[in-house]
Amino acid sequence: MNYDLIVFDWDGTLLDSAGAIARAIQASCRDLGLAVPSDTRARHVIGLGLEAALRYAAPDLPLERTPEMVERYRFHYLSGDHELALFDGIPALLDDLKSAGHILAVATGKSRLGLNRAFGHSGLAALFQASRCADECHSKPHPQMLEELMAAFGVPPARTLMIGDTSHDLLMATNAGVASLAVTYGAHPQEHLLEHHPLACLDTVAELDSWLKCNA
């Protein structure tokens, strides 16, 4: 086994939610009378903590209106998050990794409340031994989430692997001295992911599963 600890991003890596997040950001901007960001700009912020994401997506947002924007985003996203689905093959992939003896964890831009809600909808909570959220740690790409997870299990960076769909995930891995894998079926395009030199850039869950079986 090359990696004892395998850490997954959530949105866009395990859950097919990138489009829903972008639409919720755009709807929130409309509610507040702000310029509506393009799909590309709205998707770019996925993986960041919510306030940082909204400030990037809506640069004209007055600081004092940030709580209002957060409320509108949560309204739009939570109204439909129960309908979001895991990418095909994810439950079996995770079950195989856990059965093989890997420690599985999540590092996400979601809040703790948001991740717990997602765990409940997905039924995946039992497969993960730990998780870190953006309201508990510095937002990605700061390495704190990975550093805390490695410390919790006594696993060094050389035995840890980060898997994500955004440049924020990959840069967090770099900042923590951890190897990374990129998936292209989430939020960020392949050319942005390749800039951060992941071990591989994989287009489907089936490719991810095959790579992990051969290399993890």
List active site positions.
Answer: 9, 11
What is the Cα–Cα distance from 145 to 106, expressed in whole angstroms?
9
Six-digit token string for 161: 């692997």
What is the Cα–Cα distance from 125 to 112, expressed in whole angstroms?
13
Q: Which of 151, 195, 150 is nearest to 169 (CA)?
A: 195
* Amino acid at position 191, single letter: E
Judging by DSSP bridges, how do beta strands 5-8 and 130-132 pair with one another? Answer: unpaired
List 107's β-bridge partners, or say none: 132
List 104's β-bridge partners, or say none: 6
Instruction: Answer whether 22's CB lies under 8 Å from 42's CB.
Output: yes
* Amino acid at position 115, single letter: L
